[in-house]
Amino acid sequence: MRAYERLLNYVKINTESAEGTGTSPSTACQWDLARLLEKELQEMGLQDVRISQYGVVTAVLPATPGHENAPALGFIAHMDTAPAFSGKDVQPLLHENYGGGDIALPNGGIVIRPAQFPELERMTGRTLITANGSTLLGADDKAGIAEIMTLCEELIAENLPHGKLCVAFTPDEEIGEGADHFDVPGFGAKYAYTLDGDLEGGIEYENFNAASAKIEITGVSVHPGSAKDTMENSLLIAMELNAKLPADAIPARTAGYEGFFHLDEMCGDTASCKMAYIIRDHDMEKFEAKKALIEDAVRAVQEAHPKAEIRLNLRDSYYNMSGQLKDCMHLIDNARKAAEQAGLTPVTVPIRGGTDGARLSFMGLPCPNLGTGGFNFHGPYECVSVEGMDSVVAMLKHLVSLYM
């Protein structure tokens, strides 16, 4: 079975995660995919197939005879889809022999345009997979799952030599909890790769330092006709607070190594308001300065509105893994070689986000990230190519051979 065929099955299973549920997985629907993967791994012949009480699926493909001393290599992908856009009732569509130009999806008036998404320019002649416009596709990260499963299947079917391979599929990566219950010693790998990037050939080992800032504002709500010197409108206070952050340090105006403040959510009324930011920067000093800046902004606005109450919950999420990988650069070098052997051009760029691999690298499992063949993740414009997924599987097979 080709990787894209597996993807078509996996995306139909709703695995949308959710913050604040207090459970792992955060949503019960993630168990549906976990159990399917458990069954497929068992049928494929992998060993030690299990699902932990926290929904982490793991399995082992033992080394072929004569390669037992090769370093154990891990491949990891996540099962959940981002809660930012619906992942329920996904209807994948195939666009064969894409001829260029706009792709109009049947629902929601969604059009994927090369002018807006230049990645399409390199897709001419390929078979593309999208959703129908009413949901995301879920290639992030079910494409990664499909590629790992296909890798295992082809290694077995083609009787290809390899060292010990360890496989894991995690829940809740999209809400920053994918590695919360990951048993690194029990996993058994010396090194690993997450399959959670975008276009094929992507090799990533630098990522953002990340924090979340949740702000609750309690104002003073009175009748507007008698509000003079009394009312404290929480929404206006929120706007004042946001205005104290640099206007250019937002996702839409930054790229590469530039960090940002992203106002991800804001809701409320005159009486009370909630704001949720994510804070990102590759450089640790700049990251700490950004956190200090939002603390200063909260403090200043609170002083200006003593009758209101402003509460800040600032929490680190993950850190840049580059420092953890500096002594394991063979992981990057071999990934580049494997990409070239698969006919791909390796591209190394800093991740403007994070992966399970970032946290796992700090937990003692060096774990850079590889592309899956998709792009435009987390929304209705999401797309992946059949040929890109095939190339990723070929790259993984070469990568495995480099560690024997």
Catalytic residues: 80, 173
What phi and psi, each to the nearest 5 degrees, are found at residue 199? Answer: -65, 145
List the one residue out of 169, 160, 165 whose CA is nearest residue 78: 169
Do residues 130 and 98 lie in contact, with contact meaning Cβ atoms separated by under 8 Å?
Answer: no
Cα–Cα distances (Å) from 161 to 29, 64, 287, 401, in that order, read 36, 6, 44, 7
Strand pairing of 383-385 and 128-130? antiparallel
Structure-token pair, residue 367? 């774990």
Do residues 380 and 234 lie in contact, with contact meaning Cβ atoms separated by under 8 Å?
Answer: no
What phi and psi, each to the nearest 5 degrees, are found at residue 166? Answer: -115, 130
Classify 264 as helix, strand or coil.
strand
Radius of gyration, CA atoms only, the chain: 23
List the one residue out of 153, 143, 148, 141 whose CA is nearest residue 168: 148
Structure-token pair, residue 307? 């009758």
Residues in the chain, overall count: 404
Cα–Cα distances (Å) from 343 to 2, 3, 168, 329, 339, in that order, read 18, 18, 27, 22, 6
Instruction: Let me know if 22 is exposed, middle or buried by CB neighbors in 10 A (0-12, 13-18, 19+).
Output: exposed
Q: How many CB atoms lie within 10 A of CB 102?
A: 11
